[in-house]
Every structure is written in structure tokens, then in C-alpha cells.
Amino acid sequence: MRHLASTPPASPADRQALRRAAEDAKIALSTEEEARVALTLDGQDTRATLTRDQLNALADPLIDRTLDACARALKNAGLTAADLDRVILVGGSTRTPRVRERVAAFFDTTPYTALNPDEVVALGAAVQGATLAGLRRDAVLLDVVPLSLGIETLGGAVAKLIVANTAIPARATERFSTSADGQTKVKIHVLQGERELVADCRTLATFDLTGIPPMPAGLPKVVVSFLVDANGILSVQAEEERSGRRAHVQAVPHHGLTRDEVAQMEADGFTHAREDMRRHRLIDLRLNARLDIRNITRQLDRLGPDELDPDYRAQVQADVAAVQAFIDGDDDTLDPDAFQTAMEKMDHGTLRLAEANIAKTLRADADATPPKPVPND
């Protein structure tokens, strides 16, 4: 006599015999505390006794995954377990006492078990088949995007164009621009995931949009379009509006991902949401602050000592230095609210600077305009 093998037997007949014995034991343990298993594997008799506690230990991880899916469905629908009128058990495994116990505890209600769980599955499959075949017009089957889709932006942040649980087909469009003067190429990095930073998301594809005419930073307008078709295929197109240059790529978002991996990515998104948003905000603040400081520095350099009050110039430079300190600071200790306040103070304090530059431009234009000729009598 020997114990049940820890790995499936090689023979197809033995595997089928083991599957049947396991099913019989599971059915028996739904009403009894123990079940005896007797079968012949690889020409040798095998005997074993299984208990309900052993079955429960094996079933719990699977039940956990199912209840996690229920929790996500409730959250996405904006509901709680208390909002449900009834919980109906579907599928033969719901006859298992452990399943009924865990469901009752999760939903805080006694599940409805009067229906035959196998017939319910068959009827549901028939309804789905009729809907897919176009025989039913009163039901609609919707598939959704399992994880958010977006692209990388300057600084390592992710701009999400299509968020998780959006029904497909789905389309989204957003405008971006260049970050450097004279930039003629833009790299489009397509990402998937629920996190806010590129390092924590999954790469789907990368491609280059080339041939952009050299222009000052921020002037080119790059339109990025995402389209997820009914087959779940993602098409990404990037087009520079002024030149008409475009490029595109296709990807399958769910390729290579298991359900467990999708669930883990969703869970990580919830767990790290607050810190991810803080870091994303710091990236955006740094980018905007650098642009503002560059413009302010140009305006200061354009005005001579006699065109701007020295005390005011010193105040503007002090405000710029305060913002620069935030730019150079450590992400782990920076306060985004304090960063934002420093930027607002700097921007508000440069109103006079902007007015002085506008006045100088107007004077230069006036001096460059030739006098109008006097008409002859």
C-alpha cells in the first residue's frame, strides 16, 4: 500500500482514474467528514483517507480568488454587499460546504441554494451563445479593458488615456508636445498598468514619430490616439498636427498576462495609490517649474539695470531660487503642497516682470516702424 502520488501519473488512463477518484472524494466530503479513496495506479493498488479539513485547505486559495473578484466587481459598480438583495450560488462546486460558508461570511447573508447550480450554468451558457449569435436582442455582452493604458511622459510619469474597466471598443485621444527646442523626433512608449510611474508599469510597445519640423519646445502638437477594438487589439497612432507626420503600432494588451498577474497589478495600484500620486505630482511640478524658471530667466536677462528696479529683480531671483531648491530636493522628503505654494508665489511675483518685457517689446516695435509718408497737396 502506498500514498497518493504528489504528481499526476504519466498514463492517460491513470490520470483519468485519479481525476474520477478526486471528484468522488470531493462529493463525499460535501456530506461526510472523511472519504476513503481506493484505486489502481500504474498497476498498483492505492488507498488513502481524505478529510474535510484537507479539502478546505486545498479549496481556500481558489475561494479567495473568487471572493477577490467579487470585491472588485462591487467596488467597480459602486456597491457594497449590503446593497445586494440576494446571492445565488452557481456551479457544481458551490455544493461544497466550505464555499457556502465563505460566501455567507463575505456577503453577510445566507446564499440562495434552491436552484440546481449545474442547470444555472447551462442556461447561462445558452443565453450567452444566443446573444453572440444575434438571436437575442434584449441582452448585451460587454468586455472591458482589464488594466489602464497610457504613454510615458517626460520625467518617467504615465499619462493614462484609457482607464481600467472601460467597455470595449474604446477610443481616447490626447495632445502632447515636445520638451526641447528643435526636437525632430518623439518616442512613444505605450504602457499598461495601474501605477503612476513608468518603472512600475508594463511595456506594450515603443515607436518613434520622426520628421517633425524643428520648432521651439511646446510648439509642436502631437496627437496620440488609442483604439481598442472588439477583439481587444490596441492600435496607437501619433500625429504631429502642423506637419502631418504620423506613425502607429498595434499591440495585444492581455498577451502574456495571467489572471493572477492582472489581479496583482490591480492590487499594487490600490496599495501604492497615495504615494504614486504624490510622486506623479512632483514630476509634473518639476516640469512646469523648469519651464517657468527658463522663461523668467530669459525675461530677466532681456532687461537691463535701468529697466528693472534692483530690489524687485533681487526678489524675483530669490523666488526662483526657492523653487529651484524644490526642483533639486529629495522625492522622499519633498512636500508637493509646499512646492506648489512656492511656484504660485514665484509666478505671482513676476507679473511686473512680464509687464516690463511687454512694454519693452512695444517700444522696440514702435521704434522700428517707419513714419507714414505725408500726402502731397
> pLDDT tens, 246-262?
999 988 776 667 777 88
Give helix 97-107 / helix 52-76 axis angle, nearest 10°.
30
DSSP string, 112-139: B--S-HHHHHHHHHHHHHHHHTT--SS-
**How many domains in the chain?**
2
Residues composing the chain? 377
**Nearest C-alpha neighbor of 150 from the set 209, 204, 208:** 204
Residue 207 to residues 185, 188, 330: CA-CA distances in angstroms? 10, 5, 32
Mean pLDDT of the chain, nearest integer: 86
Q: Answer yes or no: do 214 and 283 share one domain.
A: no
Extract the C-alpha cell encoding 72. 472588485
DSSP code of residue 199: G
Q: What is the pLDDT of residue 38?
A: 84
pLDDT of res. 190: 93
CATH number at residue 330: 1.20.1270.10
Beta bridge partners of 240: 222
Cis ω before 169 (30° cut-off from 0): yes
Instruction: Please say which residue of 253, 271, 289 terminates a domain.
Output: 271
pTM (2 d.p.)? 0.59
Q: At what angle do helices 273-302 and 351-368 cross, to 10 degrees?
A: 40
Give me the pLDDT at residue 5, please.
42
Looking at the fold, whether 260 and 172 belong to one and the same domain comes out as: yes
Number of H helices, E strands in the chain: 9, 12
**229, 252: one domain:** yes
Last residue of a domain, one of 244, 271, 298: 271
Burial of 204 (0-12, 13-18, 19+ CB in 10 A): buried
Domain-located, residue 117: no
Do the domain assignments include residue 303? Answer: yes
Residue 75, in any domain of the structure? no
How far is Cα 235 from Cα 252, in angstroms, rounded to an integer?
A: 9
CATH of the domain at 265: 2.60.34.10
- Evaluate whether residue 22 is within a structural domain: no
Distance between CA atoms of 126 and 33, rounded to whole angstroms?
Answer: 36
> Do residues 282 and 266 share a domain?
no
Residues 266 and 332 in one domain: no
Do 185 and 241 belong to one domain?
yes
Using the 3D structure, point to which of 230, 247, 271 is the last residue of a domain. 271
| CA nearest to 146, candidates 121, 134, 163 | 163
Write out residues in the chain with pLDDT < 50, as ranges: 1-6
Query: Domain span at residue 319?
Result: 273-366
155 assigned to some structural domain: yes
Query: Is 304 found in the same domain as 258?
Result: no
Q: How far is CA 86 from CA 89, 112, 121, in A?
A: 10, 7, 17
Torsion sign, CA atoms 306, 308, 312, 313:
negative
**Alpha-carbon gap, residue 146 to 144, rounded angstroms:** 6
One domain, residues 153 and 237: yes
- Asked if 150 and 258 sit in the same domain, the reply is yes
- Do 319 and 218 belong to one domain? no
Q: Is residue 300 in some structural domain?
A: yes
DSSP state of 156: T
58 within domain boundaries: no
> How many Cβ atoms are within 10 Å of 191's Cβ, its own excluded?
23
